[in-house]
Structure 1
Amino acid sequence: MRPDRLLDNPIMLLVEVGAVVTTVAALLDPSTLAVLVSVWLWLTVWFGTLAEAVAEGRGKAQAASLRDLQTSTTARRVRGSADELAHTGPLAVRPTDEVPSTSLRVGDVVVVGPGERIPADGDVVEGVASVDESAVTGESAPVIRESGGDRCAVTGGTVVLSDEIVVRVSRDPGQSFVDRMIALVEGSERQRTPNELALNVLLLALTAVFVLVVATLWPIAGYADARPPVVVLVALLVCLVPTTIGALLSAIGIAGMDRLVRRNVLAMSGRAVEAAGDVDVLLLDKTGTITYGNRRATALVPAPGVEPDDLARAACQSSLADETPEGRSIVDLVGGGDQALPAGVELVEFSARTRMSGLDHEVDGRVHRVRKGAASAVAAWVHSTGGRPSPEVDAAVTEISAAGGTPLVVAEKVGDRPARLLGVVRLKDVVKEGMRERFDELRAMGIRTVMITGDNALTARAIAEEAGVDDFLAEATPEDKLALIRQEQEGGRLVAMCGDGTNDAPALAQADVGVAMNTGTSAAKEAGNMVDLDSDPTKLIEVVEIGKQLLITRGALTTFSVANDVAKYFAILPAMFAVAVPQLDVLNVMRLSSPESAITSAVVFNALVIVALVPLALRGVRYRPARAEVLLRHNVLVYGVGGLVVPFVGIKAIDLVVSLIPGL
């Protein structure tokens, strides 16, 4: 209620000034009308700030739970300077010092073990562990964080559940991801968007027009010898200026960001939410966004004369020494994770030089060798032992490659006999569940989807067709992604980008809406203007819906606010001149009881309609995928016509009650 706090809301400030004027008038010349108008004008100001207060209160409640993550903890900081740590062996075995987490700085390296809280934001540089991020994301299922990929970023305050990881700190205390979340959800960094500023200018222009109109009524009424009391003029002014949308405008923007936070998407600005509502093109990184982060084994293709079980056994054994995600997926596919190794086994680890992994062990006095790897590498190994190629295996390799998959060939050699090919393991990028349906929804919204990948065109086309995207960009470098976004923007389109890797950072920064996955790198999260805490790229559909919902809600309530001025005009203006100019009684279409009750009813309705629309402002108008002209027609019919009809009904109903008050 403080005037200095209302400077950002000139319409409510004008109402408060009017309340002061009518209060003074009521004290100097007490009357039932003056007292009632004064009381309801003060209530109008209070109701006008209620929606924004409720919206901000939600953010503060969410921020309070996040502050629990900021408790100071003890960190095991690895000794040595940044240069020393960059040129040493494994960091987990180096000496550590226990220090408060508040003393950590960018570049420091800490070791975090099971049950320990990660002391600061950073990137995993050694190890792999499951991490409980439920305090940040709300999801109870633990997530895997590991070094050397796009799932290396960790958030301070989350808890390591298993194993041990080494983390390099990426942000100083006070600038962490959680600190930024707290500031944003509390609204302390929320700035008015261009659309909101433009609407404010429109509302101020309308207000200025109505101030001028009401001010000129004073001399006109004096000329007609029907000069109304100041209280009536103030009531007319307050009812004609767009108080409804003026009261709810800020709350609509805050509520839009709040709806995103409740869906585990952190928007760095209200402008990003608005832009999401106007997005024309969506670019998505393939790996980790449309597909899971690594290729997975999906099928086994036995060679002629080879039993599927024999191929499965050999594929599993040859993958036990392969610690790559692809190797682990083969073990998972055949269910051999608990398989006991034979006595005297010798594991052959995968290497980039041989491009194979395998296992050697002795069976009945003969050495049994199993190998799995790239088709050319395994074929060369088989040929070196005197083995023969298999046209059927070659055909399977060609077919899998043509379909965008990756073939791994399995072979075995027993004793002195030549090696033989057992079959092929098919690896492929697995598209996340529900992708095609989500892209169909985006298409219905008029949004074109483009998949971006570094894969060759053959693989990219296969994944694009399976996922259901509209277009793809293959063999894309960071420069290619950036160029594509700029090309689309130069064509007048708004572009959204989803990504999770460091190589996505330039594109995320250039896009109008850059949504970074929380599982991604710190660079990606810094570059985007939104962070999806669930790392679900399909969430962008909800982001777009919320953005459109924000714009539609703002337009709908503006339409309603302007339209309902007509009814208030018909209520107050005839009441002002009814005695001096009886002919104006024809404008009293609502047949209100008296001039005093008409003015009071209009002021009361003007205040109560704000309260009635607070839930709609916070929840937002429901959005259905449709063309812009269809949405516009719907809003005009519902909120334009509704803004005309509802005030007539509401003011008449209030008049029936107000007319019972003595003195009116």
Structure 2
Amino acid sequence: MNLANTLAAFPLAVRKFNPRLLVHSPVMFTVFIGSLVCTLVSIQQLVQGSPVAVFSALVTVWLWLTVLFGNLSEAIAEGRGKAQADSLRAARTSVMARRRLAGPGGPGTFTEELVPGTELAVGDIVVCEAGDLIPSDGDVIEGLASVDESAITGESAPVIRESGGDRSSVTGGTMVLSDKIAVRITAASGKTFLDRMIALVEGSTRQRTPNEIALNVLLASLTIVFVVCVMALAPMANFANALPTPVVLVALLVCLIPTTIGALVPAIGIAGMDRLIQRNVLATSGRAVETAGDITTLLLDKTGTITYGNRRAVEFGPADGVAPFRLIAAARLSSLADETPEGRSIVDLALEQGDGQPAQAPEELSADVEVIEFSAVTRMSGLNLPPGYPANPGTRVLEVRKGAAAAVERYALERGGFVPQELEEKVLEISATGGTPLLVATFDGTRAQVLGVIHLADVVKPGMKERVAQLRAMGIRTVMITGDNKITAGAIAGEAGVDDFVAEATPEDKLAVIKREQEAGRLVAMTGDGTNDAPALAAADVGVAMNSGTSAAKEAANMVDLDSDPTKLIDVVGIGKQLLITRGSLTTFSVANDVAKYFAIVPALFAATFPGLGLLNIMGLHSPESAILSAVIFNAIIIVLLVPLALRGVKYRAVSAAKALSRNLLIYGLGGVIAPFIGIKLLDLVVALIPTIA
């Protein structure tokens, strides 16, 4: 908490003196009402020349400072998001959009009109080219383009957005760097993703979490109890000829109620969301952050989360009697039109291991070559070649295919071929080690021949096993979800150290796992980026959507990762637990804090009439007035001292609940008892130097 941020937050803290805002915090509203009462009493005493007027005025000043410091803690927490909100607001530029309209030539013909981006409606289609700002949120329905999203994510590297996949979502305010795309608008003006981000970052739409509401109810109940106690104490104090002035009674009330945690609760909640925002994760509400701290089951996608995701070809395994160069040439040829990372890696490995043929881009293939795209049905890709094609690995070859072992085996059997026994064994061996085997086959018009196997390796990210172990220590069960076969999934799961895995998973399988876990009383978190992930993201207690994914996924989730890093879900869980730990620790400190104040104020009220109560004055405070004023000053100052801890958060350690509780009681419970004794005594030594107080 630096001085510049504190000074910048002061105007907002002053504006929060509005009773309509303070009423949401029962503790601070009570202090506010007490401060008003003390102000009126102090003015009356000053006019009348009362000997206790200076004492009352000093107490009143510090009561107002208590309210100010409570407001300041929330204002500082909210202010931490202002800089990011300003940068996001700068990205929200009103631009002219090229809206597509149906052309006069009938279906398939279009015209364009230039309209302000604010006039776009959901369902409109706009055209964006290199250099254009995307006017609003939408999905790419035609084309492919490189997009600069640095205004939102902070990352300078451009990203690819294309139609027909899970990376079709675009955000208003980002810039197209290359090519041309058609975008269907999915958000009305003023309700875009950027608008929601700004509102959430600034905290203007922050909703209190269930635990925060429950804590406020508890604090309100304690406040009511102490108000009744102090009201009952007034006639007793008057009877005992103590100090029954309204100022003293208000000071007693403020010191007895849990003022510290009452002032810091909003800051703790806002800071939890801010820590997510600092990691480029946007939560729709504090509820999602808090729920993340209670997660007991974590669903992790294998590809991109546990592993790097971009599988690479690492080995060619020819069948017996097949020359290696034939397999290498066929593998390269089948991958020339394959623009996936796996396909490009096969071409690279072929060139590296002696194929000798230069790589060809798809557009360089001759017009009479038919490209066979990969599909989920065939699970194969390749080329249909004309006889005598220059790069043909055998002049009689008419077709070349690569794909999943079962798919290529079916392809070969349908064309009179078979998979040699040694290749079947090689497929099982690669799968058992967590790799992905692809078979390569050719067809010459008479009989298919399976030439060999390509080994694709998917590498588990470094440190993943250790992170999973940390989650296990937190009491979180990890489940890996993958579309791979059971053998491959089992090998990766063992290497990553996850507790369980679901292989060959469909969207329905993901949803079933979530429902099963929830029916067992567990809270579930998961990540996703595709439209097919939307049902599971919506069903999960914490769903984190990738910003690179579809609009449907982002709408279904309650968090969006702007960096599109699936592993960040592990950090989200840690932040949620840190939020809960911080709130619990500071609540413990606040309650323990009040113990010392009892020893300061109760003897001050009654020791003159009941000397026996002097035994409770273990701090040896100078006088009743100095004791009360010192307690009120400490009560205000401790709020300021704890604001940095509320914003930074108590460090979370992956230990058992029993150890966490013991540590909490030792540090914040015992510390909360000791600190006020020291602080109030030091303040009493200073206050005693004031003649009118002494």
TM (normalized to structure 2)?
0.86
Question: 1:219 aligns to what SS in structure 2?
Answer: helix
For the Cα contact (< 8 Å) 1:578–1:585, is it kept in 2? yes
Q: Are the structure 2 counterparts of residues 527 and 378 from structure 1 closer, same or farther at C-alpha, using a change threshold of 3 Å?
A: closer
TM alignment of 1:173-184, pairs within 5 A: 173-184=189-200
My pick for the range that moved more, 149-158 or 521-530, is 149-158
| 2:137 matched residue in structure 1 | 121
For the Cα contact (< 8 Å) 1:593–1:659, is it kept in 2? yes
Deviation string 1:316-345 (CA, Å, 9 cap, x unpaired) is 233213345543342344468973689979
TM alignment of 1:352-371, pairs within 5 A: 355-357=381-383, 361-362=389-390, 367=395, 369=397, 371=400
Is 2:168 the counterpart of 1:138? Answer: no
Question: 2:94 aligns to what SS in structure 1?
Answer: coil
Give, in angstroms, the shift of residue 422 of structure 1.
4.8
Deviation string 1:73-95 (CA, Å, 9 cap, x unpaired) is 232333229xx99x75xxxx954
For 2:401 and 2:535, the matched residues in 1 are separated by: 38
Is 2:237 the counterpart of 1:217? Answer: no
For 1:457 and 1:363, the matched residues in 2 are separated by: 37
Is 2:486 the counterpart of 1:464? Answer: no
Question: 2:317 aligns to what SS in structure 1?
Answer: strand
| 2:7 matched residue in structure 1 | none
Is 2:598 the counterpart of 1:598? Answer: no
TM alignment of 1:481-560, pairs within 5 A: 481-560=510-589
| 1:423 matched residue in structure 2 | 452
For the Cα contact (< 8 Å) 1:504–1:524, is it kept in 2? yes
Give, in angstroms, the shift of residue 27 of structure 1.
1.6
**Residue type matched to 2:175 in 1?**
V
For the Cα contact (< 8 Å) 2:481–2:503, is it kept in 1? yes
For the Cα contact (< 8 Å) 1:132–1:143, is it kept in 2? yes
For the Cα contact (< 8 Å) 2:402–2:441, is it kept in 1? no
Question: 1:244 aligns to what SS in structure 2?
Answer: helix
Question: 2:204 aligns to what SS in structure 1?
Answer: coil
My pick for the range that moved more, 466-475 or 400-409, is 400-409
Which ranges of structure 2 fall in alignment gaps of 5 or more residues? 1-16, 47-52
My pick for the range that moved more, 309-318 or 480-489, is 309-318
For the Cα contact (< 8 Å) 2:335–2:382, is it kept in 1? no
My pick for the range that moved more, 322-331 or 378-387, is 378-387
201, 213, 220: which is aligned to 1:197? Answer: 213
Question: 1:160 aligns to what SS in structure 2?
Answer: strand
TM alignment of 1:3-402, pairs within 5 A: 3-30=19-46, 31-80=53-102, 88=108, 94-291=110-307, 296-303=312-319, 311-323=327-339, 326-334=342-350, 339=359, 347-351=369-373, 355-357=381-383, 361-362=389-390, 367=395, 369=397, 371-374=400-403, 390-401=420-431
For the Cα contact (< 8 Å) 1:500–1:524, is it kept in 2? yes
Question: 1:78 aligns to what SS in structure 2?
Answer: strand
For 1:554 and 1:294, the matched residues in 2 are separated by: 41
For the Cα contact (< 8 Å) 1:454–1:477, is it kept in 2? yes
For 1:317 and 1:570, the matched residues in 2 are separated by: 86
Question: 1:212 aligns to what SS in structure 2?
Answer: helix
684, 687, 694: which is aligned to 1:655? Answer: 684
Aligned length: 656
For the Cα contact (< 8 Å) 1:321–1:347, is it kept in 2? no
For 2:418 and 2:542, the matched residues in 1 are separated by: 55
Deviation string 1:604-629 (CA, Å, 9 cap, x unpaired) is 10000000000011111110101111
For the Cα contact (< 8 Å) 1:130–1:160, is it kept in 2? yes
For 2:210 and 2:382, the matched residues in 1 are separated by: 57
My pick for the range that moved more, 53-62 or 602-611, is 53-62
For 1:530 and 1:384, the matched residues in 2 are separated by: 48
For the Cα contact (< 8 Å) 1:548–1:623, is it kept in 2? yes
For 2:275 and 2:117, the matched residues in 1 are separated by: 32
Q: Are the structure 2 counterparts of residues 267 and 173 from structure 1 closer, same or farther at C-alpha, using a change threshold of 3 Å?
A: same
Give, in angstroms, the shift of residue 597 of structure 1.
1.2
Give, in angstroms, the shift of residue 130 of structure 1.
2.5
Give, in angstroms, the shift of residue 410 of structure 1.
3.8
For the Cα contact (< 8 Å) 1:435–1:538, is it kept in 2? no
**Residue type matched to 1:357 in 2?**
L
For 1:514 and 1:344, the matched residues in 2 are separated by: 47
Which ranges of structure 1 fall in alignment gaps of 5 or more residues? none
| 2:11 matched residue in structure 1 | none
| 2:509 matched residue in structure 1 | 480
Question: 1:125 aligns to what SS in structure 2?
Answer: strand
For 1:453 and 1:377, the matched residues in 2 are separated by: 19
Question: 1:598 aligns to what SS in structure 2?
Answer: helix
TM (normalized to structure 1)?
0.90
**Residue type matched to 1:605 in 2?**
F
**Residue type matched to 1:11 in 2?**
V
For the Cα contact (< 8 Å) 1:318–1:358, is it kept in 2? no
**Residue type matched to 2:121 in 1?**
R
For 1:66 and 1:363, the matched residues in 2 are separated by: 52
For 1:333 and 1:65, the matched residues in 2 are separated by: 44
For 2:146 and 2:507, the matched residues in 1 are separated by: 30
For 1:343 and 1:23, the matched residues in 2 are separated by: 87
My pick for the range that moved more, 343-352 or 438-447, is 343-352
Question: 1:188 aligns to what SS in structure 2?
Answer: coil
For the Cα contact (< 8 Å) 2:460–2:492, is it kept in 1? yes
Give, in angstroms, the shift of residue 427 of structure 1.
3.5
My pick for the range that moved more, 423-432 or 552-561, is 423-432
RMSD: 3.2
Question: 2:372 aligns to what SS in structure 1?
Answer: coil
For the Cα contact (< 8 Å) 1:317–1:358, is it kept in 2? no
Q: Are the structure 2 counterparts of residues 368 and 134 from structure 1 closer, same or farther at C-alpha, using a change threshold of 3 Å?
A: farther
Percent identical pairs in the alignment equals: 63
For 1:331 and 1:118, the matched residues in 2 are separated by: 36
For 2:110 and 2:301, the matched residues in 1 are separated by: 37
| 2:615 matched residue in structure 1 | 586
For 2:360 and 2:530, the matched residues in 1 are separated by: 37
| 1:408 matched residue in structure 2 | 438
For the Cα contact (< 8 Å) 1:184–1:268, is it kept in 2? yes
| 2:665 matched residue in structure 1 | 636
Q: Are the structure 2 counterparts of residues 326 and 602 from structure 1 closer, same or farther at C-alpha, using a change threshold of 3 Å?
A: same
Q: Are the structure 2 counterparts of residues 654 and 417 from structure 1 closer, same or farther at C-alpha, using a change threshold of 3 Å?
A: same
**Residue type matched to 1:114 in 2?**
A
For 2:211 and 2:419, the matched residues in 1 are separated by: 67
My pick for the range that moved more, 368-377 or 231-240, is 368-377
